Amino acid sequence: GAGVSQTPSNKVTEKGKYVELRCDPISGHTALYWYRQSLGQGPEFLIYFQGTGAADDSGLPNDRFFAVRPEGSVSTLKIQRTERGDSAMYLCASSRGMNTEAFFGQGTRLTVV
């Protein structure tokens, strides 16, 4: 596609449920990033991938959060036992390499009720 695609655009889930958020990067981009943006805040880094491997997952807040990128393209952010505090916009970005411009998707707005 022309840009980074994130699905769904909106997700409402009940507290305690499991959710998956999907990111389709720009074709050919090897680096992929996940950020979380809470209301009224700037985005916070969660994890980034170079190819299939997580190069840096230091931003994941706890072990309920996990992300995969099995074939080096699409990535899925997985959140177990969701809590109301997980409600936020989840942003994905991709870049041709680790040190080239990262392009952001429009995000998935997650609401935990």
Partner 1 sequence: AQSVTQLDSQVPVFEEAPVELRCNYSSSVSVYLFWYVQYPNQGLQLLLKYLSGSTLVKGINGFEAEFNKSQTSFHLRKPSVHISDTAEYFCAVSEGSGGSNYKLTFGKGTLLTVNP
Q: Give the residue, chosen from 19, 26, 67, 93, that forms a contact with partner 1 under the rule CB under 8 A.
A: 93
Q: Which stretch binds partner 1 (CB under 8 A): 19-27, 67-75, 80-88, 90-98?
A: 90-98
* Residue 90 and residue 36 in contact, taking contact as beta carbons nearer than 8 Å: yes
Q: Which stretch binds partner 1 (CB under 8 A): 11-19, 22-30, 33-41, 69-77?
A: 33-41
> Under the criterion CB under 8 A, does residue 65 sit at the interface with partner 1?
no
**Integer CA distances (angstroms), 76 to 9, 39, 40, 92, in order:** 14, 22, 25, 10
CB atoms within 10 A of CB 39: 7
Please state the closest distance from residue 18 (CB atom) to partner 1, in A. Answer: 25
Retrieve residue 63's tokens. 């072990």
Please state the closest distance from residue 102 (CB atom) to partner 1, in A. Answer: 4
Nearest to partner 1 of 27, 39 (CB atom) = 39
C-alpha span between 64 and 88 (Å, rounded): 15
Please state the closest distance from residue 60 (CB atom) to partner 1, in A. Answer: 13
Residue 61, SS3 per DSSP: coil
Query: Can you give the binding site for partner 1, defined by CB under 8 A?
Result: 4, 31, 33, 35, 40-45, 48, 50, 55-56, 91, 93, 95, 98-99, 101-102, 104-107
